[in-house]
Structure 1
């Protein structure tokens, strides 16, 4: 177990999450203040955009606090390392393809936000597709947890 290297990995991850937080705040600010009057969006699209941005913010802030706490305490750092490098969890993620599916779903949600400025039917279709992908990912994870 090489906790020194993992310590550096967590510092990089913390900077990445902080950049996500900054990007989401900038995206939210541009959408709510600069483009709100110019865009012809309905309330459901604006609510989805705000909800997705807030969700990204909450998840990233949670991980930043968790990483900061782990960097200060060696016991928590060791637990986080063991949890991240657990072979069974990694096998389940690999078999279910959850890492890739979540990235694709996030990409679909971002594209749906962009599509909401042009066509609401495409927006709804992409949102439903993203939600379906997340449900498929969760069901695959549950299936492989029972099988392994």
Structure 2
């Protein structure tokens, strides 16, 4: 079995696992909401169902894509070429870098604006900004060594 096929099988198993846990979490949340005694809080219930429905949709899409690729060797080869192509990797790296910079800028700007209105939101956005920066610096230092 070639290494890329093993990677796809591992991704398929992980997607199935996430889909199962997502479905169980959604069912547990619905049952907990309904068993609370009073009427369920529909705003929280609808948000959690939307979140888990999105997770399930992505997992099902990935499961179908990987299962189809494992059955058809030409689709597996096309998936491997698309993933390992240097141009696609460069596009992905540039996209991630631009997204990170935009996220940092928006968090900083949002924190400044929120500092005038709500201190709790300002500290929350500041904490998120600091955590993202620490993670970025840790990975930057790690990959700079290699």
TM-score, normalised to structure 2, is 0.59
1:11: which partner in 2? 9
Deviation of 1:89 (Å): 2.2
1:69: which partner in 2? 68
Deviation of 1:42 (Å): 4.0
- Greater shift, 37-46 or 11-20, is seen at 37-46
Structure (1 or 2) with the larger CA radius of gyration? 2
1:30: which partner in 2? 28
Of structures 1 and 2, the one with the larger relative CO (CA 8 A, separation 6+) is 1
Structure 2: 5+ residue runs without aligned partners?
104-119, 129-146
CA gap of 1:18–1:47, structure 2 versus 1, over 3 A, is same
CA gap of 1:32–1:88, structure 2 versus 1, over 3 A, is same
Deviation of 1:33 (Å): 0.5
3-state DSSP of counterpart to 1:91: helix
Quote the Cα distance in structure 2 between the aligned partners of 1:4 and 1:40: 54
1:53: which partner in 2? 52
Quote the Cα distance in structure 2 between the aligned partners of 1:39 and 1:80: 50
Aligned length: 104
Once the two structures are superposed, the pairs formed by residues 1-148 of structure 1 within 5 Å of their partners are 4-36=2-34, 37=36, 42-97=41-96
Structure 1: 5+ residue runs without aligned partners?
105-120, 130-148
2:109: which partner in 1? none
